[in-house]
Amino acid sequence: MAAHLSAAWAERGRAVTLLTTDDGREGSFFELHPAVRHRPLGLRSVSRHPLQALTSNFRRLGILRRAFQVEHPDFIISFLDSNNVMCLLATRGLPRVPTVISERTDPSARSIGFAWEFLRRWTYPWADCLVTQSAHALGYFSPEVQARGRVIPNPVLPLARMEGRSPGTRGPRRLVTTLGRLNRVKGHDLLVEAFASLAPEFPDWDLAIHGEGSERPALEARIRALGLTSRIQLPGATTQVAARLQEADLFVLPSRTEGFPNALAEAMACGLPVVSFDCRSGPSELIRPGVDGVLVPPEDVPGLARAMAGLMGDPAERARLSVQAPEVLNRFSLNRVLELWESALQFASQPHRERTIPCSQD
Strand partners, 165: none
258 near 279, Cβ under 8 Å? yes
What CA–CA distance (Å, rounded) separates 56 from 124? 22
Q: What is the pLDDT of residue 339?
A: 94
**What domains does the chain contain, in order, with CATH numbers?**
2-155+333-354 (3.40.50.2000), 174-331 (3.40.50.2000)
Q: Using an 8 Å Cβ cutoff, are 322 and 272 in contact? A: yes
Alpha helices in the chain (DSSP H): 2-11, 50-71, 81-90, 114-123, 135-138, 143-146, 188-198, 216-225, 241-246, 262-269, 283-286, 301-312, 315-324, 328-331, 334-349
What residues does 130 pair with on adjacent strands? Answer: 101, 149
* Nearest in space to 276 (alpha carbons), one of 245, 251, 241, 248: 251
**What is the pTM for the complete model shown?**
0.76
**pLDDT grade, residue 194 (50/70/90)?**
very high
Determine contact, residues 52/87, Cβ cutoff 8 Å: no
41 phi/psi in degrees, rounded to 5? -105, -10
Query: For the segment 75-123, what is each residue's pLDDT rounded down to a tens digit?
Result: 999 999 999 999 999 999 999 999 999 998 889 888 889 999 999 999 9
Q: What is the pLDDT of residues 234-258, one digit of tens each?
A: 999 998 888 999 999 999 999 998 8
What pairs with residue 77 in β-bridges? 100
The 10 Å CB-count burial string (b at 16+, else e) for 290-321 is eebbbbbebeebebbbbbbbebbeeeeebeeb
Q: Is the pLDDT of residue 68 over 90?
A: yes
Q: How far apart are the first and last CA of the chain?
A: 19
Pick the more confident residue, 44 or 143: 143
CA 358, CA 346: separation in Å to the nearest integer? 14
CB-side neighbour CA atoms (13 Å) of 74: 5
